[in-house]
Amino acid sequence: MGQHITIGYLQSKMVRMPLNLNEVWNEDINSLSSSQELIDYINVFGTNDEHWRLLHAIKIKNEINKES
């Protein structure tokens, strides 16, 4: 039985620390419900590093889900 990774995995990769200084960002990230919404949000409000980190996380998620 394999493991299926969901949108929560991607959201967790995009949370900014420290939590108390990034409440709005983290609430926005956690309110999104698809990979495309995350990509769109990061493209508008995120940094280049966050953009590449999200794409890498999506690649890992897809690879793990493919193996499941």
Pairwise CA distance, residues 9 & 14, whole Å:
9
* Model confidence band, residue 1 (pLDDT cutoffs 50, 70, 90): very low
What's the whole-model pTM score? 0.85
* Model confidence band, residue 5 (pLDDT cutoffs 50, 70, 90): confident
Longest Cα separation, the chain: 40
Q: Which residue has the higher pLDDT, 55 or 6?
A: 55
Q: How is the chain split into domains, by residue range? A: 33-68
Over residues 9-37, the pLDDT tens digits come to 999 999 999 999 999 999 999 999 999 99
Round the CA-based radius of gyration of the chain to a whole number and report it: 12
